[in-house]
Structure 1
Amino acid sequence: MASLLEFVSGFLIMNSMAHLIIGLTGARFLSLFGYSATANIAYSIGCMVAGLAILFVRQDPSAVVSNGLVLGCVSLWVIFLLTGRFFFAIFANDR
């Protein structure tokens, strides 16, 4: 059962990255909250919170915080959240 919950947690965390990128680029993609960019960003935040909540409930919080894979995923997600629109605006015209 623990492996299944860890799988679901990882799935939610990585799914949040895809919806964050789609939301930041303004592409239309179906999420739980609709097709808009804002809906995808909100869904991304929800997936990230749910995935981390599962990890923190199932494991010792210090083990989660010291897990390099989790820290890498969350760090990249935060970097994309903070800088994604900026970099998309710079590189979007190079197509």
Structure 2
Amino acid sequence: MNLIDFIIGALLANAMPHLIFGLTKTHFLGMFGYSPKGNIMYAVLQFVLCIILYCYTYGYEGLLENGYLVGGITVLVLYFVFGKLVIQFYGKQEKNV
């Protein structure tokens, strides 16, 4: 492992909580301030930088051969696609006491 691998992993791992905080409208400090939209944009920026750095370092073919990174990217993409829908669904659930 070298420094660029660490940076790629850190960008991908840090994108997830910022995306979740943005989707749940939780105020959390990111590069673009405390706003939920700022956190979502910060997550997108980190995700794009992660992919660019990886493809620049190892090429697109290398991306498909790295199962750990593909798994992390899959989880993050699923959060991007379905996160808001899941939060809306579970947010409307009535609590039975």
**Is the TM value for this pair above 0.5?**
yes
Mapping of 1:1-95 within 5 angstroms?
3-92=2-91
Q: Which runs of 5+ in 1 are unaligned?
A: none
CA deviation profile, 1:41-60 (whole Å, cap 9, x unmatched): 00000001111111111113
Provide the rounded CA distance (Å) in 2 between the counterparts of 1:46 and 1:60: 20
Provide the rounded CA distance (Å) in 2 between the counterparts of 1:37 and 1:60: 33
Provide the rounded CA distance (Å) in 1 between the counterparts of 2:65 and 2:24: 31
The two structures, once aligned, show a CA RMSD in angstroms of 1.5
Larger relative contact order (C-alpha < 8 A, sep ≥ 6)?
1
**Identity of matched residues, %:** 29
8 A Cα contact 1:31 1:40, kept in partner: yes
Q: Which runs of 5+ in 2 are unaligned?
A: none
Structure 1's consecutive aligned runs of 4 or more residues displaced over 2 angstroms after TM superposition are 92-95
